[in-house]
Amino acid sequence: MEVKELLNRYARGERNFNGICLRAVNLRGVNLGGIDFARADLSWSDLTGISLSGANLSQANLRGAKLENAHLSEVILCGADLTQAILINAHLNESDLSGALLVDANLCDADLHQASITAANLQSAKLNGAKMGGVRMWKADLQGADLTGADLSEANMCEVNLSMANLSATDMSETFLTGAIMPDGSLHS
């Protein structure tokens, strides 16, 4: 499907684009709130500034996608592949990223307030300055992640793996860390 056809069908009220292949397309600044892109292939696409609030992107392929300044509040991204995705300053408030792959993803200055990132893989992710207050990250893998200056206040990080993670200047006030593996390899009790 071409981008023009997608936008025309969306404008006519269609929302189900489950499994669609739109690899390496340009959807900069487009508003597609509430769309169903479950299992869609949007890998390597330019989605800078896109608005997908309330959308379903569960198990979508967003590998290498550019999502800078994207509006992704309350989006379902369960099991999505966001490996190497660029999510700088993205708005992911209250989104569900449970089981998502975010290996080497860039989430610098992203807003993930109250998001669910349970059992997600964030190995080597860049989360510098990310706003993650109240985030639920139970059993997430943050090995080698850079969380410099991130706000993790009141986060649930029980049983997370923080091996070799950088926590410099990170706000972890009132963060739950029961069973977490700390950057030095010790187990938090």
Please choose, from the candidates 29, 9, 28, 25, the residue with its C-alpha nearest in 3D space to the C-alpha of residue 17. Answer: 9
**Per-residue pLDDT tens over the stretch 122-141:** 999 999 999 999 999 999 99
- Across the chain, mean pLDDT equals 98
Residue 189 has a pLDDT of 82
| Amino acid, single-letter form, for residue 178 | T
**Per-residue pLDDT tens over the stretch 147-179:** 999 999 999 999 999 999 999 999 999 999 999
Contact 13, 33 (CB under 8 A): no
Residue 39 has a pLDDT of 98
Domain 1-189, second-level architecture: 3 Solenoid (2.160)
List the chain residues with pLDDT less than 70.
Answer: none
Residue 176 has a pLDDT of 96
Dihedral sign from CA coordinates of 102, 93, 65, 166:
negative
